[in-house]
């Protein structure tokens, strides 16, 4: 932005054209109120940044922006474009109903460059995931008949409001592809994926990225699955040493200490969910088409009503069986840690 007399001019980068075609345009020529508001917000944010522990206000030359301010605004615009492209990519890759949004009003951090979005477990070479059940129910009403949970020796996990009713540590057995019940069966919850619109956002407390819900979530409701690359526990030990050096962790130990889910390079929205000792999400083991007890799916359910705008968290130490995994959390973090 620059001024000539009483007229403000803005340097315009034309979409789809090279920088050599940029032009200075007076304010009255610009019919883009959203971009102008973003420009003003970015300028204000930069000028009100804290320096050396004290809030400062830089003196602005009314005839032209200082180079540092202009550079920040350009970087912020580039970041905004990159985050929008990442958001579009995430929504193309997801297979669930809920939308994914991305937001960073804290710093200039852009999308992670080393995360590939997946919707289900990715087995590492040498690991076989048998995703085909050997039997299924023939119920006409899974609420009242001997359904898959009863065959496994456990109770049906859900009530008629699709809320979980079993205590933590109890496995969930949902109806599978061999069951004769239809897609509207009340025992098909986790397999339908995330139903809520969620936002990956940059936290202001130094915990990197986090996840918040954009809608109200009822207590005891399924929120998301934790997915990643399934590796052996031996391989997890090697990965863990690398993550320990960075002070972070992506490893979630499954039961029997034979397999681990590593969400470092492959994961979904849950990759960005932060740790808390007072979480609003609880871990449950789920079995659907793969009934191998060594390889449960990991589902996260709300422990209470979660209001729109609240950050989602779970306890990294909690396993789906209700036990505690000493390897599933970075011990340099006392109460709050983060996966990203």
Render 102-157 in DSSP notation, one character per residue. EE--SSS----SS-EE-SS-EEPTT-------S-----S-TTTS--HHHHTTS---
**Distance of alpha carbon 327 from alpha carbon 329, whole angstroms:** 6
Answer yes or no: is 322 within a domain: no
Q: Would you say 286 and 297 are in contact if contact means Cβ atoms under 8 Å apart? A: yes
Q: Is 199 annotated as a binding residue?
A: no
Q: Is 207 annotated as a binding residue?
A: no
Structural tokens at position 151 = 């065959």
Q: Nearest-CA neighbor of 109 among 86, 134, 131, 79? A: 79
Q: What is the pLDDT of residue 324?
A: 37
- CATH number of the domain that 34 lies in? 2.40.50.40
- Residues 62, 68, 71, 72, Cα dihedral to 10°: -100
Answer yes or no: is 248 within a domain: yes
Answer yes or no: is 273 within a domain: yes
Same domain, 45 and 170: no
Residue 316 catalytic?
yes
Same domain, 182 and 240: yes
Q: Is 277 annotated as a binding residue?
A: yes
Q: Would you say 297 and 285 are in contact if contact means Cβ atoms under 8 Å apart? A: yes
Q: What is the pLDDT of residue 319?
A: 59
Q: Which of 46, 173, 316, 338 is catalytic?
A: 316
In eight-state DSSP terms, residue 318 is B
Answer yes or no: is 236 within a domain: yes
Burial class (CB in 10 A: 0-12, 13-18, 19+), 153: exposed
Q: Nearest-CA neighbor of 121 among 224, 226, 191? A: 226
Answer yes or no: is 106 within a domain: yes
Same domain, 257 and 298: yes
Q: Is 147 annotated as a binding residue?
A: yes
Measured CA distances, 93 to 51, 88, 100, 118, 119 (Å): 40, 9, 10, 7, 8
Total-model pTM: 0.82
Same domain, 228 and 173: yes
Same domain, 55 and 187: no
Same domain, 50 and 132: no
Q: What is the mean pLDDT of each run of 10 residues along the chain (340 residues)?
A: 69 84 84 83 72 46 68 89 96 96 95 94 91 88 93 94 95 96 95 97 93 98 97 92 82 86 95 93 96 94 98 81 41 36
Same domain, 43 and 119: no
Q: Is 139 annotated as a binding residue?
A: yes
- CATH number of the domain that 151 lies in? 2.170.270.10
Residue range of the domain that includes 293: 98-314
Q: Is 32 annotated as a binding residue?
A: no
In eight-state DSSP terms, residue 208 is -
Answer yes or no: is 189 within a domain: yes
Other Cβ atoms closer than 10 A to 173:
23
Q: Which of 226, 250, 266, 338 is catalytic?
A: 226
Answer yes or no: is 205 within a domain: yes
Q: How many domains does the chain have?
A: 2
Structural tokens at position 164 = 């979980």
**Distance of alpha carbon 323 from alpha carbon 2, whole angstroms:** 62
Same domain, 41 and 150: no
Same domain, 125 and 78: no
**Distance of alpha carbon 291 from alpha carbon 268, whole angstroms:** 22
Residue 243 catalytic?
no
Answer yes or no: is 339 within a domain: no
């Amino acid at each position: 932005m620059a001024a000539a007399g009483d007229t403000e001019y803005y340097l315009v980068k034309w979409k789809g054209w090279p920088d050599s075609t940029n032009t200075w345009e007076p304010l009255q020529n610009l019919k883009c109120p959203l971009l102008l508001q973003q420009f003003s917000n970015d300028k204000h944010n930069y000028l009100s940044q804290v320096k050396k522990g004290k809030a400062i206000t830089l003196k602005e030359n009314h005839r032209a922006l200082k180079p540092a301010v202009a550079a920040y605004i350009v970087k912020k615009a580039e970041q905004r474009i990159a985050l929008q492209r990442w958001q579009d990519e995430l929504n193309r890759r997801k297979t669930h109903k809920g939308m994914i949004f991305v937001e960073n009003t804290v710093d200039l951090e852009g999308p992670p460059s080393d995360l590939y979005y997946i919707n289900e477990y990715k087995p590492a070479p040498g690991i076989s995931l048998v995703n085909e059940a050997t039997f299924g129910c023939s119920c006409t009403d899974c609420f009242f008949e001997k359904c898959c949970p009863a065959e496994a020796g456990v109770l049906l996990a859900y009530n008629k409001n699709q809320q979980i009713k079993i205590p933590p540590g109890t496995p969930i057995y949902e109806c599978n592809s061999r069951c004769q019940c239809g897609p509207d069966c009340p025992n098909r919850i986790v397999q339908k994926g995330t139903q809520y619109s969620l936002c990956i956002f940059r936290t202001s407390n130094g915990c990197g990225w986090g996840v918040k819900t954009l809608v109200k979530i009822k207590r005891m409701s399924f929120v998301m699955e934790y997915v990643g690359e399934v590796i052996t526990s031996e391989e997890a030990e090697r990965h863990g040493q690398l993550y320990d050096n960075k002070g972070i962790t992506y490893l979630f130990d499954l039961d029997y200490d034979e397999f681990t889910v590593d969400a470092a390079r492959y994961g979904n929205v849950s990759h960005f969910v932060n740790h808390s000792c007072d979480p609003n999400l609880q871990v449950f083991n789920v079995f659907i088409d793969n009934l191998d007890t060594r390889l449960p799916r990991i589902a996260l359910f709300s422990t209470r009503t979660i209001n729109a705008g609240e950050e989602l968290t779970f306890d990294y130490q909690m396993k789906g069986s209700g036990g505690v995994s000493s390897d599933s959390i970075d011990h340099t973090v006392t109460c709050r840690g983060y996966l990203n």
